[in-house]
Structure 1
Amino acid sequence: MLVTRYNPFKELRELENRLFNYYPSAPSEEGDISAFKPSVSTREGEFAYHIEVDIPGVKKEDIHIDLKENQLIISGERSFKEERKENDYYKIESSYGKFQRSFALPENVDVENIEASSENGVLEVVLPKLKVEKAEVKKIQVK
């Protein structure tokens, strides 16, 4: 049996979302087991693009990074279970969620040398840039 905290404003928020279309219909943060959307930071360096995904509690073996049709797809799942037993007290808390994020790759990414590492709940994907030689400007004389 799943025990969830009562939220008196949940129905009002759902009604407001439907009436005013502020948000697409998405699972609520409370009471939905599969609600898990990690935050993502992207930046461009001189030699590579960097994607950092905050995924605390996700094991390395539960992270999947795929490259398909010039799209980088990062997916995975986390599960957490905490059990606490005392003389007259027994509590189990668990959470579970799957996630997937997709990124369109720029033309100058070296797809053969993409690297990923995970440390302290942060996944970093490094997308090296291809070395593009600047073309010389050739003057053409008008006759």
Structure 2
Amino acid sequence: MLPMIDPFKELREIEKRISSMLDLERAAVPATAKETVWAPAVNEKENDKAYYVEVDLPGVKKDDINVEVKDNILTISGERKFKKEEKDEGYIRTESFFGKFERRFTLPSDADAQKIEAKAEDGVLYITIPKIEEKENTKKIEIK
């Protein structure tokens, strides 16, 4: 009688090897490295009057966000503080990103950098970048 062949045996072995490699990889990365690897998601849109930027910053306090413009570059930076993990709450793994973040955007030529406004609400940073009103550059020359 022929022995039973398990067609999934090799797949289970491969899965075990990959799983153990991932566990070693997670253990090899120090906590401080995990804390600095994140970039917030950004949505951008525009209309005739302004550009709008929405930055997802759940868990980031308003005081921990910095928005500035320098040399026509809009920089959004800050830090999300690490939540203290309580062992008795049954945490097995934490996948939230903590630490410093920064996103930079080159402003369009028609952006009015002097009138940019920012508002943080419900874990989202809303930035409004008004467009410069185009003025007629035609000057009537008086004939003498």
TM-score of the pair, normalised by structure 1: 0.65
Distance 2:72 2:57 in 1: 24
What secondary structure does 1:52 align onto?
strand
Deviation at 1:82, TM superposition (A): 3.9
Instruction: Give, as a single letter, the amino acid of the residue that structure 1 aligns with 2:106.
Output: A
How does 1:1-143 map onto structure 2 within 5 Å?
8-9=21-22, 32-84=34-86, 96-134=98-136
Which protein shows a greater Rg? 2
> Which residue identity does 1:67 align to in structure 2?
V
Deviations 1:89-117 (A, max 9, x none): 787x7962111011101111112211000
CA distance in 2, matches of 1:121, 1:70: 26
- Helix, strand or coil at the partner of 1:131: coil
Structure with more contact order per residue of length (Cα contacts < 8 Å, sep ≥ 6)? 2
Flag structure 2 segments of 5+ consecutive residues without an equivalent: 1-18, 139-144
- Alignment partners' CA distance in 1, 2:87 and 2:127: 40
Given that 1:79 and 1:95 are in contact with CA atoms closer than 8 Å, whether structure 2 keeps it comes out as no
Specify whether residues 84 and 63 from structure 1 end up closer, same or farther in structure 2 by C-alpha distance, changes over 3 A only. same
Q: Please, which runs of 5 or more residues in structure 1 have no aligned partner?
A: 1-5, 13-26, 137-143
Runs of 4 or more above 6 Å deviation: none
**What is the percentage of aligned positions where both structures have the same residue?**
41
Distance 1:90 1:53 in 2: 31
* Larger relative strand fraction: 1
Is the Cα–Cα contact under 8 Å of residues 56 and 124 in structure 2 kept in the other structure?
A: yes
